[in-house]
């Protein structure tokens, strides 16, 4: 082996070693950013549960379901991560921080950056005025097929006739004091529904209030 060939081989080995270091780094921000999502859903952190379910319940059913006649709501039982969103738009890609107090918004964005690859397993803690069902991945796929497939049989269509579609949520991302929050929501109903959207909320007097969404950016 010539001296030049030895130098080239040495550079290749160094590059391989560097790549190995990066591939074992923190899955939140490193090369293996999807590793946390692939590993599966985690339980809802107890210190986030009450506010998270209050926010989910406040936003249900959301447009266009709120103008439809429905017997039950369907909600995916696992939150979506950034890997599941299409397009994968971060919250600041749709929303702006309120000029009068931007700190809480930006803290919630940082919480999103730290947790955006996580999926949370949801449980029946929604407080809704209408019956709902939490659906697993197979059930969601079956519901979607019942609404879109040309070969969907009458039995399958009848099984999901009470549901206008299915709602997907991300986990809720909070500011440090839990007074501001960001959450992604997507109502799926075949060809009739809007794309997913980020929503910004603030807590006032113990109650969560929606401040913005994709169609009402704060100026």
The proportion of the chain whose per-residue pLDDT surpasses 70, expressed as a percent, equals 78
> Tens digit of pLDDT for each residue in 42-88?
999 999 999 999 999 999 999 888 888 778 999 999 999 999 998 89
Q: State the sign of the Cα–Cα–Cα–Cα dihedral 170, 171, 172, 176.
A: negative
Cα separation, 209 vs 154, whole angstroms:
41
The pTM of the whole model exceeds 0.85: no
Distance CA 117, CA 81 (A): 5
Whole-number pLDDT of residue 1: 52
20-37 pLDDT, tens digit each: 333 333 332 222 233 333
């Amino acid at each position: 082996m010539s001296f030049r060939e030895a130098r080239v081989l040495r550079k290749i080995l160094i590059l391989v070693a560097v790549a190995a270091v990066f591939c074992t780094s923190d899955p939140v921000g490193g090369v293996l950013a999807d590793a946390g999502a692939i590993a599966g859903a985690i339980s809802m952190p107890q210190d986030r549960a009450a506010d998270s379910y209050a926010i989910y319940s406040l936003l249900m059913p959301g447009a266009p379901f709120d103008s439809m006649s429905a017997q039950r709501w369907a909600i995916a039982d696992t939150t979506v991560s950034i890997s599941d969103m299409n397009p994968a738009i971060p919250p600041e890609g749709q929303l702006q921080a309120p000029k009068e107090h931007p700190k809480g918004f930006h803290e919630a964005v940082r919480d999103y950056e730290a947790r955006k690859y996580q999926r949370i397993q949801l449980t029946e803690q929604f407080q809704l005025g209408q019956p709902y069902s939490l659906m697993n991945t197979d059930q969601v796929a079956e519901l979607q097929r019942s609404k879109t497939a040309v070969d969907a049989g009458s039995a399958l269509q009848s099984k999901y006739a009470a549901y206008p579609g299915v709602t997907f949520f991300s986990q809720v991302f909070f500011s440090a004091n839990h007074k501001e929050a960001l959450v992604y929501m997507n109502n799926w109903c075949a060809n009739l529904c809007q794309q997913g959207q980020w929503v910004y909320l603030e807590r006032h007097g113990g109650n969560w209030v929606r401040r913005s969404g994709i169609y009402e950016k704060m100026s």
